[in-house]
């Protein structure tokens, strides 16, 4: 057995007919359930179709990653060229090709979507998840609710081209629901669902975001009820949940790892640790889409370079005065624009530094090889 293969256990049982024989696999192909689509199939060469099997990354740990494919669950060691570049290494949701016989990971397939943020306290990007279809931005009906943060998540989600829904949990603990709906009036294209995440019936409307073959990511701060939602949607205690602090309603960071869970009669659900900060980079298009209303107003300003402060004929300021645009939203747009510009530049610089370092390293190695072969 290959070193990279530590355990294998089937996750999806094929249907068995009344005659005791396996039903044809086509209708419920395990790969299709995991989100395998023509977009990924088309990336395989003829040789790869013969010699490799695709597997989905379900969880990433320091020294090994958990994957699932047609043969069930396996564990692959984090080792080899695929894992050399920290900003490029496989993340949860990725599709990998394993060599059929040795189970060695050969390459990662191109992604249909990718979430990343600036790694906390670093000049590097941190990958959050790949190949996600839909996102529940989870907040709760308490101190956690913060529109500017919702807009931050939206920029990330729109950049990845995913469908988003805002879920406000703990609706059973706060009856002041209208105030949340009023606060969200500037976000008409964002569906909002208020739920008691502990109640399976209450979360049922969210099932449309995690149909078989789809991947749904739950994103939000610690303690808002992401793992609780996962368990209610799955109808089983798949993830641990924790209490929240009495004084400020903040969570206790119960979930420690990002992981995908297959839910019965549905798709895959990504549970993730609560994010303390979500610093944005490389999301210019997502940001423009999140604030499309402000861009549309800006196009009507008298001056093309209007800063929307005190210029005459400013359509943005006029909208604020007539109460059709929230001043907070304009402030947040400005703040996020500055942040995205700064962080995108930082990432480009650090990529250039890494490239230069890599070139220097390769040139030192080739000199050493040339010297060695000259000596022989």
Ligand X SMILES: Nc1nc2c(ncn2[C@@H]2O[C@H](COP(=O)(O)OP(=O)(O)OP(=O)(O)O)[C@@H](O)[C@H]2O)c(=O)[nH]1
Residue given tokens 């790694």 in the structure block:
119
Confirm or deny that 290 is annotated as ligand binding.
Answer: no
Q: Are 91 and 78 in contact (CB under 8 A)?
A: no
Q: Which stretch binds Zn ion (CB under 5 A): 171-179, 181-189, 265-273, 311-319?
A: 311-319
* Residue count (the chain): 376
CA–CA separation, 66 and 74 (whole Å)? 6
Q: Are 247 and 238 in contact (CB under 8 A)?
A: no
- Quick note: the x/- pattern for Mg ion over 148-187, rule CB under 5 A, is ----------------------------------------
CA–CA separation, 13 and 262 (whole Å)? 12
State the minimum distance, in angstroms, from the CB of residue 290 to Zn ion: 19
Q: Kindly identify the residues of this chain, within the stretch 250-289, that bind Mg ion according to CB under 5 A.
A: 254-255
Among 273, 311, 326, 342, binds ligand X (CB under 6 A): 273
CA–CA separation, 216 and 228 (whole Å)? 15
Dihedrals φ, ψ of 250, to 5°?
Answer: -80, 155
Q: Which stretch binds Mg ion (CB under 5 A): 133-141, 150-158, 223-231, 334-342?
A: 223-231
Among 31, 76, 197, 306, binds Zn ion (CB under 5 A): 306
Shorter beta-carbon distance to ligand X: residue 198 or 315: 198
Q: Kindly give, in sequence order, each residue whose CB lies less than 8 Å from that of residue 107, ignoring residues fewer than 6 positions away.
A: 82, 96, 97
Q: Which stretch binds ligand X (CB under 6 A): 52-60, 89-97, 183-191, 194-202?
A: 194-202
State the minimum distance, in angstroms, from the CB of residue 52 to Mg ion: 34
State the minimum distance, in angstroms, from the CB of residue 127 to Mg ion: 19
Q: Does 153 bind ligand X (CB under 6 A)?
A: no
Confirm or deny that 171 is annotated as ligand binding.
Answer: yes
Q: What is the DSSP string of 61-78?
A: -SSEEEEEETTEEEEEES
Among 112, 131, 134, 241, binds ligand X (CB under 6 A): 241
Confirm or deny that 223 is annotated as ligand binding.
Answer: yes
Q: What is the DSSP string of 100-156?
A: TTT--EEEEPPPS-EEEEEPTTSSSEEEEEES--EEEEEEETTTT--HHHHHHHHHH
State the minimum distance, in angstroms, from the CB of residue 292 to Zn ion: 16
With CB under 5 A, what is the number of residues at the site for Mg ion? Answer: 4
Q: Which residues bind ligand X (CB under 6 A)?
A: 169-170, 172-173, 195-198, 222-228, 241-244, 251-255, 273-274
Q: Which residues bind Mg ion (CB under 5 A)?
A: 226-227, 254-255
């Amino acid at each position: 057995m290959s070193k990279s293969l530590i355990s294998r256990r089937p996750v999806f049982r094929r249907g068995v007919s009344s005659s005791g024989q396996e039903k044809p696999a086509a209708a419920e192909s395990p790969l299709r359930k995991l989100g395998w689509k023509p977009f990924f199939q088309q990336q395989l060469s003829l040789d790869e179709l013969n010699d490799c099997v695709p597997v989905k990354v379900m969880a990433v740990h320091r020294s090994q990653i958990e994957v699932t494919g047609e043969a069930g669950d396996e564990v692959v060691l984090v080792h080899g060229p695929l894992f050399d570049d920290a900003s490029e290494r496989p993340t949860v949701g990725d599709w990998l090709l394993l060599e059929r016989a040795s189970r060695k990971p050969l390459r990662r397939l191109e992604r249909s979507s990718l979430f990343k943020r600036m790694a906390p306290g670093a000049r590097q990007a941190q990958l959050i998840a790949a190949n996600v279809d839909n996102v529940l931005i989870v907040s709760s009906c308490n101190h956690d609710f913060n529109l500017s943060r919702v807009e931050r998540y939206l920029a990330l989600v729109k950049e990845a081209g995913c469908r988003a829904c805002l879920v406000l949990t703990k609706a059973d603990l706060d009856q002041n629901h209208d105030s949340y709906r009023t606060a969200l009036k500037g976000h008409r294209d964002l569906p909002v669902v208020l739920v008691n995440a502990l109640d399976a019936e209450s979360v049922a409307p969210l099932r449309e975001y995690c149909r078989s073959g789809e991947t749904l990511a739950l994103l939000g701060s610690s303690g808002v009820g992401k793992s609780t939602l996962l368990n209610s949607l799955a109808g089983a205690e798949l993830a641990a949940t924790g209490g929240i602090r009495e004084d400020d309603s903040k969570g206790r960071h119960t979930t420690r790892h990002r992981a995908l869970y297959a839910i019965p009669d549905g798709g895959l659900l990504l549970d993730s640790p609560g994010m303390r900060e979500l610093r944005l980079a490389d999301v210019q298009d997502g940001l423009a889409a999140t604030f499309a209303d402000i861009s549309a107003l800006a196009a009507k300003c008298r001056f093309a370079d209007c800063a929307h402060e005190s210029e005459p004929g400013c359509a943005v300021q006029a909208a604020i005065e007539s109460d059709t645009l929230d001043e907070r939203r304009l402030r947040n747009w400005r703040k996020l624009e500055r942040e995205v510009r700064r962080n995108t530049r930082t990432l480009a610089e650090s990529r250039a530094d890494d490239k230069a370092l890599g070139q220097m390293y390769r040139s030192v190695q080739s000199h050493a090889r040339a010297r060695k072969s000259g000596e022989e």
